[in-house]
Chain A
Amino acid sequence: MASIWQYANPRKFIETTDRILPWVAGSSLMALVVGLVWGFFFTPDDYRQGSTVKIIYLHVPSALMAINGWIMMLVASLIWIVRRHHVSALAARAAAPVGATMTVIALVTGAIWGQPMWGTWWAWDPRLTSFLILFLFYLGYMALWAAIENDDTAADLTSVLCLVGSVFAVLSRYAVNFWNQGLHQGASLSLDKEENVADVFYHPLLLCIAGFVLLFVALVFLRTQTEIRARRMRALLARERLG
């Protein structure tokens, strides 16, 4: 069995992801359609929150992916720093807009849910605030990528920013918790099943989460392919200019 690092070859990466991308995208679509339809139409209303509770099928998965997206970028950045595989840096770059979009979805669905529940679109609750800060980190990260012309320099700088940003993001989370104890309900899911949302909501929610994970993977694969091709094109143009 060859080493896992062979997939760090750009060509190999594109070949492999080309093969599995339709399956990932297809199963993502399946899971999302089934999960959302099941969740929206075939679960009872919550006795306190009514039907508004059903927005968790979008809110929880997108919030999870907003955080996991950043963690994936962190891992990819570390791989770039240690092993200097270009695909890894480009995957981190590709994941950023997807993660940022997930953050926006989480914030917007949260606002829509919060309005009838708390009577306000926005509250400076620790969780909401942390997500807003996370969104700012995504923005800064993407802006830095966009600002630097040399790809390797950009990869190095954004990797360090991602590392430092991660530390500060965690720090901000604690700071925000200290600053304001909030309204937000506790985690809806945990491995300890006793504390979970009721079973009827639980299964479609799991399906939706799986769908979002697969959707994220599919989008990141697709965007990484694009980044690889764009990078290759820039390299060829640079080579041509130099003659």
Chain B
Amino acid sequence: MAAVMPAPAASRLLLSGNEAVARAVWEAGVKVAAAYPGTPSTEMLEVISTYPDLYAEWSVNEKVSLEVAIGAAYAGSRAFCCMKHVGMNVASDALMTLTLTGVIGGLVIAIADDVGLSSSQNEQDSRYWGRFAHVPVFEPADSQEAYAMTLAAYELSEKFQVPVILRMTTRINHVKSLVQVGERVPHVGAGFRKEPGRFVMVPGNAGKRIPLMFKRDSELRALAEISALNFIEPGADRRLGFIASGPAYMHVKESFPEAPVLKLGFSWPVPFEKCRELAALVDQVVVVEEVEPLVETELKAQGLNVIGKEILPLQGELAPNVLKPAIARLLGEQVPAAQAIAPMQVFPRPPTMCVACPHLGVYYTLSQVRNLTISGDIGCYTLGAGHPWNALDTCVSMGASMGMALGLDKGRGEADKDKRIVAVIGDSTFLHMGMQGLLDMVYNKGNVTVLLLDNRAVGMTGGQDNPGNGRDIYGDDAPRVDFAKLVAALGVKEERIHTVNPYELPVLFKTIRDEVKVPEVSVIITDQPCVLIKDYHKLKPFEVIEDRCTGCGNCIDVGCPAIHVTRRAKEIKPSGREVDLAFVRIESSVCTGCTLCVQPCAPGAIVHYAPVSPIQLVKKGCPA
């Protein structure tokens, strides 16, 4: 994205939490910002890259992004790194030692927890990392707080020379609310100064840093006790008092406007005395936290009589429709009716692959090959697990398709003796964490056919650039990975590497069928771009000639959302077998002419769309 003139200071802007953090990062004088895309965190770096006076990058994975940020912070510059919750699992190796060295320039790590699983494989509570790594955690409750806390986090980070975690959730990252923004204050880094006792973490040096880390914990706890980010709002109804953080604070205020609340913005180390102060005000303290009972457990260990997950769910958001009934039950009050009418039953509408998506050809083909076990990965192509393909059998973590395929091969039971193991992975996921798995597979002589779906984008998060498409975060030219050479360098035999066009179904089918029979590692690279990025070029659309359609339904099995059923019927075959027929039409206005549905159409009913123009109509109507 091109740099734009940032909105002037004192403007009141409608910003998402992600946009608010990006603004604060710029205002804080950050010099280096790095991330790997991941919902709901992606827009932070996207927006940061539109600001001037800083360097932003898409890193190949979260660990690398954190390491880039650490380097910049060691150099004395302010640095920023963000990721979705599962990204920190990858980056944590660096975090756990970073906490010993600390930083010179301020370093803020924003972690976006997908509470409610809008687009993730699991639900995690990133506040654990604060406790695990002994680093402070800030938790904003809306965009204004996300903005203000990011600025405050840089101050704290430099004062204590410690990285600070900004724990966000989907309901902060993606909610838009008003933010009053300020001026950018340039930050001048001191430059890197050699200090091996601090920056070279060998046992002798690291051992000396551990007591400093624990001392810092105590100092941070003392600061949390007096921090303005932690405050009590005394209410009139003293039966219950709430301790809440993040979006849960807003839900509590919405649900129980008269109750005293201790709002935790600087939520770890937990300010125990502040909590006791609230407890003294009320009959009973309830801790409202998304997701895990962390504050609750620590308060119980302090001897405080608090309630939390005994009455509140351990999963999902703690919105008013969850809180109100739970608290009513606790108080022995009548549970309020949920709503006027019950939800009506409507079919599910799961996400689908796009019209003409190059993955359609891959999954259609995989669904036609028998006897496969398909080790999947994380990206748009995870949708291959759904209808109509049902051609993806596992999905665990980024890059897992590789190692898991090898494990499925080496660990095969008697029943799987003749199964062919296929792994499916996208270009960006392969570069993120798949390369090592493939190396392991080759080194250990696995029998796996790898489908590397190179669509030149991080598709699921919105088509971000990556080292596979030759563009950086600014859209500028960057060195482009040659996947065929890369996998060859990892040891895949040249004759086992094939690059195919996923829209050429017969070639794709033959290549897959041939390679699964070879008891070695094969890599089949598909090379057509995501339909949502600028590299994709639309072709002439198709339509169905109604009279020619026999209702066989082959085209429906491709799974393209442009194909619609016009009517259904049943046919009795000469054998007496009854078959279901589905006659179709193509929504030509969205068709981009990929030909995937044309190829399996036996009667040749799908032809290029030829709209009848008004001029032709006039000509027909007025014979010369």
Whether chains A and B associate is: no
Q: Which residues of B pack against A, CB within 8 Å?
A: none
Q: Chain A: residues with CB nearer than 8 A to chain B?
A: none
